Each structure stands twice: as C-alpha cells, then as structure tokens.
Amino acid sequence: GDSVTQMEGPVTLSEEAFLTINCTYTATGYPSLFWYVQYPGEGLQLLLKATKADDKGSNKGFEATYRKETTSFHLEKGSVQVSDSAVYFCALRATGGFKTIFGAGTRLFVKA
C-alpha cells in the first residue's frame, strides 16, 4: 500500500541555519504531495503542496520539489527562525483517493 517515510527527529538547529527534512514515498500512480506543520497544542496547517512531477511547492521560505524519479519530496528552508520550531509532516494523497497518508512527523527545534 501507499506509504510515507520521513527522517526521524528531533532535528535541532541554530537560528539562520539551513534546514532539510527528508521525505520519500511509495505510491501507485501520481499522488499529490503535501507538507503540513503542527505547532504545539494546535491542529495541522498546510505548509505547501505539489500535485505533479517536477512541481515545486513553496510558502513562507519553505520549498519542496516533487521528484518522481527518486520518489522524494524533501522540505528545505534557507534560514530557519525560532518561530519555525514545530512538528513537520510529509503526506500524500492519491488523485481521487479518500484519505491522506502521513509520515510519522519530524520535530524541529530552533535555538536562538
């Protein structure tokens, strides 16, 4: 079945450091890919998405490119801030599918 694997955390970075959170997926067909972020005590917020191969999703300085050849959707940010501390979830949804499949989440801590 479809699945998402993302790097284990926690990831601890200093402010202004470069961030990469790896995400790979297994799916039949051409799913849509998503990154969600969850701040403490809150629900999930959509961070960015990509719906076809080679698409780049971007938002708030975060970027991820849909790589079908490597079945990956790695999240990157050039300069993290303390306010980026949260849990990040990679997810996929098959076109016309009925559920979103999530990775286990990666907790990010950013130190001032």
Binding site for other proteins (CB under 8 A): 32, 34, 36, 42-46, 49, 51, 89, 93, 95-102, 104-105
CA–CA separation, 90 and 2 (whole Å) = 13
**Cis omega (within 30 of 0) for bond into 31:** no
The nearest distance, CB 76 to other proteins, in angstroms, is 21
The nearest distance, CB 12 to other proteins, in angstroms, is 19
Nearer to other proteins, 25 or 89 (CB): 89
Q: To 5 degrees, how large is the angle CA 111–CA 89–CA 82?
A: 15
Nearer to other proteins, 43 or 69 (CB): 43
